[in-house]
Structure 1
Amino acid sequence: MPRTSEPTRERILSAAAKLFYAEGIRSVSVDAVAAKAGVTKRTLYYHFKSKDDLMAAYLEGRDQPNLALFQRWFAETTGGVADKVRGVFRNLAVSARHPKWKGCGFLRTSVELATMPGHPAMKAGVAHKKRVEDWLRATLEAERIGNAATLARQIILLMDGSFAVVLLHRDPSYMETAGDAAAALIRATAARRV
């Protein structure tokens, strides 16, 4: 593979991200990541002390971009907060229609590492999901909509549930239906406080 001006660590992470997302973290070897990045295994281990470390870095690298994407979709959707949350789900459904879409990398990793709750990649996944939930809670609090913590958790359950069902059925309309349910929950909660 030709060398690029991209720093070695970033090349390794980019290669790992592509392979882990496409094939799953357990089925991808360190040798495969090194080959895709155009580095030796020794160079990979210079930048990452273990495959576990690389897996955690892969998810940590997805954290802020994913959250920023949700925030952008929310901001770009017109209407009230219910419409904006539904907009996040609708954009997820558009993403799920792409032929290379494989679901949520954080949830897929959690399934692969279900028996290893202390694994660094599991911790990275927990931290990401918590950040998304915290963002939703803060957004709902700013709108003074009911019990924002409970409502944010309900929306996260709808979101993560829709990721699972869309992967199972290969039908992104489940995500749109989950978005409709999230919007209905927000509207019902807002109506109760009036």
Structure 2
Amino acid sequence: MTSEELPTRDRIVNAASDLFYGEGIRAVSVDAVAEKAGVTKRTLYYHFTSKDELIAAYLRQREQPNLARLRRWYAEGEGGVADKTRAVFRNLARSARRPSWKGCAFLRTSAELANMPGHPAMKIGAAHKKDFENWFAATFEAEGLADAALLARQVVLLLDGSFAVVLLHRDPAYMEAAGEAAFALVSAARRDGVGQAI
């Protein structure tokens, strides 16, 4: 299906996604989104009552694919749970080497909306990050790791911290270093919880 064959709402969200991720939500006007989607501004406002609603739709579109990608990277990782956790960071580092990589859309949007904690996009971003944390917690719990919920939170902090630092320095090696730290944390939890290292 070509972009012209997509439903109008989907075309608008896809255009917004390209522009918002590439340039930032404040830098992109509704006019620019309408032009890229090939619709009038009036048509855009028929589908979205405001730019804020469009920003929320942009993040919602990214939620499930992001979580599915993380789960796939984890599942495809070789070795035990510590190795698989590190594999997530290594795959992210590979992604960060692409010229089109602009960091985490959820963190970038939250930085732009930091003075608007009630914004729908802030709530979507917080829920998305919590989904990552909960998934890690459930995965670690299933593996019998000690303090699975705390460990999941620590891994998410390493993940989000590496997003920020890599975006700042443009050096994916920071993400790989965060992966090594996650590997060490998970390995230590494995020893504590099960009595042997992974």
Same-fold call, TM > 0.5?
yes
Q: Deviations over 1:62-116 (max 9, x none)?
A: 0000000000000011100100010000000000000110000000001000011
Residue 163 of structure 1: aligned partner = 163
Aligned-pair CA distance for 1:4: 1.1
Seen in structure 2, the aligned counterparts of structure 1 residues 141 and 3 have a Cα distance that, compared at 3 Å, is closer
Aligned-pair CA distance for 1:3: 7.3
Aligned residues of 1:3 and 1:38 also touching (Cα < 8 A) = no
Residue 152 of structure 1: aligned partner = 152
5 Å-filtered alignment, 1:56-95, equals 56-95=56-95
Structure 1 residue matching 2:5: 3-state secondary structure: coil
Tell me how far apart the structure 2 counterparts of residues 55 and 75 of structure 1 sit (CA, whole Å). Answer: 31
Identity, % of aligned positions: 68
The residue identity in structure 1 corresponding to 2:81 is V
Tell me how far apart the structure 1 counterparts of residues 11 and 182 of structure 2 sit (CA, whole Å). Answer: 38
Determine whether 1:103 maps to 2:76.
no
Tell me how far apart the structure 1 counterparts of residues 192 and 66 of structure 2 sit (CA, whole Å). Answer: 32
Aligned-pair CA distance for 1:190: 1.2
The residue identity in structure 1 corresponding to 2:39 is V
RMSD: 1.0
The residue identity in structure 2 corresponding to 1:73 is W
TM-score, with structure 2 as normaliser:
0.96
Residue 118 of structure 1: aligned partner = 118
Seen in structure 2, the aligned counterparts of structure 1 residues 123 and 3 have a Cα distance that, compared at 3 Å, is closer
Aligned residues of 1:96 and 1:103 also touching (Cα < 8 A) = yes
Aligned residues of 2:3 and 2:11 also touching (Cα < 8 A) = no
Aligned residues of 1:75 and 1:84 also touching (Cα < 8 A) = yes
Tell me how far apart the structure 2 counterparts of residues 137 and 42 of structure 1 sit (CA, whole Å). Answer: 45
Residue 9 of structure 2: aligned partner = 9
Residue 179 of structure 2: aligned partner = 179
Structure 2 residue matching 1:159: 3-state secondary structure: helix
Q: How many residues align?
A: 193
Q: Deviations over 1:31-84 (max 9, x none)?
A: 000000000011101111110000001001100000000000000111001000
Residue 18 of structure 1: aligned partner = 18
In the alignment, structure 2 segments of 5+ residues that lack a partner are none
Aligned residues of 1:110 and 1:122 also touching (Cα < 8 A) = yes
The residue identity in structure 1 corresponding to 2:148 is A
Tell me how far apart the structure 2 counterparts of residues 170 and 97 of structure 1 sit (CA, whole Å). Answer: 8
Tell me how far apart the structure 2 counterparts of residues 56 and 44 of structure 1 sit (CA, whole Å). Answer: 14
Residue 34 of structure 1: aligned partner = 34
- Dislocated runs of 4+, deviation >4 Å: none
Tell me how far apart the structure 2 counterparts of residues 52 and 150 of structure 1 sit (CA, whole Å). Answer: 33
TM-score, with structure 1 as normaliser:
0.98
